[in-house]
Structure 1
Amino acid sequence: MWTTLAPALVAAIAALGGVTVGALVEPLKLGAARRARVREERAARCATLIEAAMKCRARLWALNLEHRRVASGTEADPARENELFELYRVARKELRQTVMLLRLSGPDKLVEAAMAVWEAERALRAARFTGDDGAVFDRNQPPKAIHEASRGLENVRHEFAMTARKLAV
């Protein structure tokens, strides 16, 4: 009798132990999966912010170039300026939305870095109508104000990328 009952008893105890361990481990697995999903979403938002900042910079440079062309009286095309401004507004909207989503999800250090990117983009935007430093229109050389504001945006964007790498990946 013990030879038939013992294996069944051992199997029942092992099954009960397996269910108990599974019940204890399952919340840990779910928590780890949730944290991985949050980090993945945060990394995607950081990548979107970096791309949007790069688009804003490129669009603002193009807007400044078009503005300087109009001011110098060469190759003026108001339709092109409107098209560039619309492309810039789309990129800026994407930047603002991403910053707000990062503010919503945190962490605070990443939010501060994202806000610094946004402020640097705003500084470049404020300088977008800067004219040529000299009297001559030079397509290949932007004004110093544009160049400095652009450099500031690039530096802040690199700092944001380093912060994002620490906190989001």
Structure 2
Amino acid sequence: MKSVQDDTGKRYLLLKRSEHASLVRDPRNGNECYVQNDRLEDVDESPLETAARTVSGPVRTLLTTVSDEATLGLLIELAERGPLGVRAILDADAFCESDLHGRLTVLTTAGLLDETEVAGERGYRITDECRRALEAIDAIDGDSDAVEPSGTPSSEAPDSAS
């Protein structure tokens, strides 16, 4: 399998090449079709990278940057509670300062966090890209309602009385 693109820039996975046309698959929907060879050019990208492009950019960034549950939880807390100062973040978990600094640096470099000022001290907030990614994976509600902790009865529970 190879990655190719047509003359409009649309990327495909090359399945079979014949003399005049090639069988390609659209990685977004799995549809296969023949495209004339003179409309195709090879792309310097792995077929697996082409397949990964079917996931939105913000979600791809989140998936490739966040390596553990604590870091994901940090992003969710920042999304739910708003910008937080570094001290508040340190108080929220057992991160040591150097570990937190490393995580914040990676997340900022990836475009998931922005540095800001909170109550006169350095703080962090999630970016719009991060918010879109968290909403896409249903980690946060798009209406910015707080996520209920596990095991807490919902106020929207159906009334058991008949």
State TM-score, norm by structure 1.
0.31
Larger Rg belongs to: 1
Q: Larger % of strand: which?
A: 2
Q: Larger % of helix: which?
A: 1
